[in-house]
Structure 1
């Protein structure tokens, strides 16, 4: 137990620049307290002491503001940063080295008892503040979920998901698993280039493409007129203003 505790403290100091020393982490980090109390609750739950497990979980929620069902499986070196308002459901599985920020919900969408209702987080996954991951699917190894995203389907390993509903905006298939888990850390699930809304990016590209096509059509009509081909029957339009449309999309 003490080896696990030392391991947890060391991982928090490594990942949180605000952590100054082990004593501060041990005494002042509710995420660590919630994880330790969950281990007690889970131990009771797995041995048929259901009420005892739920009661310890209830005490942990009151003390830390973090609710982890005693039936949930939590791996090693999991860091719940700040943590207030985090909810982790009964059939959730949190892999080693995961990072979870405040306001995260790992929730279920099914009422079937005994079924896998809550998500599985692969090793090294990062779930940003306020994100909701809902359903019995997998968030892959090294994946990142941006703040306030609502994820209702699987996120591939190494990908980044943002938005409501969440969209995949980055996938680095060539990254080694060890780099994606133990070495890569992105605060709040943010990585360079992942802050853009994928739908807005697609609309910007469509607008630019439409403007380019309009210029090409005007050039073709001018060439036809220079060659003596009359284009009087072609209806005139006001054209599009790409700058104005791009501002509307922003």
Structure 2
């Protein structure tokens, strides 16, 4: 097979994830925002955690992902009350995003499983706070400059860690409480006692059921769509008279190895 897609070029909508890939282990949600239209953000992980772009608060499809508009527009993607195959005990969230502005408590992704607060990426008091099950870490910058970056956050029993563009930033427990109560998983906005919203574009978002090591976080930063194989390359041509070992007739199928003769 030939690598016909750039490493930051999204898979075609018809392509499926390769579940034998090492980075597919523990993947419970993969929203790669490559639909380009419609009212759904489909989950490419195979766990059927697709999200709805709600009427009246619907993010806008834009080249590369979903634009969540201004803070005042309060747009979001609703997923469901509980992610399939997600426990939340050890977990990782990764996403690529251009943040233009934060609300007082802007955020990326939030939801609850079995009554426990799960996720978490928000700006508060001038720095970035990340949480999972009331464990997390505080960064030192809000990253609200409109520049695309890859972010990763891990959770484990002892705390959480925060990475930007594959590089470790900070880790440790975070005592500041999250909103309580069962809420549906949402991307781009949390609605409840407070409205926490985002002004920015999200290109992809992955949720894992395990605490990814730094090497895998770096690998996803370098090549975020490596879990998908390249599209099948098919060639077709008119029948030709045989010359030596040249193929004849119409040729179909994926190509690999050395191919001699005109096609």
Same fold (TM over 0.5): no
Bigger helix fraction? 1
Bigger strand fraction? 2
**TM-score, structure 1 as length reference:** 0.29
